[in-house]
Amino acid sequence: MCLAIPGKIISIEDEKDGIKMAKVSFGGIIKEVCLAWIENPEVGEYVLVHVGFALNKVDAREAEETFRIINEV
């Protein structure tokens, strides 16, 4: 089973070895994430992340609902 968590892009970094990276916030915890598979990523958007790779963009409401559920657990 895989677990992917939504995160908010807070900054997009210069490409490292040709790979676009970003600082992504997961409820205040900041991690570096690979954006190679995301088309036209922008600061402020939410992405679904699995083991350091953004898999796709997600709606802000969906991301916030996921955070709410995680906080309840």
State residue 22's pLDDT score. Answer: 96
Question: Is domain 5-72 classified as CATH 2.30.30.140?
Answer: yes
HEC profile of the chain: CCCCEEEEEEEECCCECCECEEEEEECCEEEEEECCCCCCCCCCCEEEEECCEEEEEECHHHHHHHHHHHHHC
Instruction: Report pLDDT digits (tens) over 23-66.
Output: 999 988 999 999 999 999 999 999 999 999 999 999 999 999 98
User: What is the average pLDDT across 1-10?
Assistant: 89
What is the model's pLDDT at position 1?
62
pLDDT for residue 73 is more than 90: no
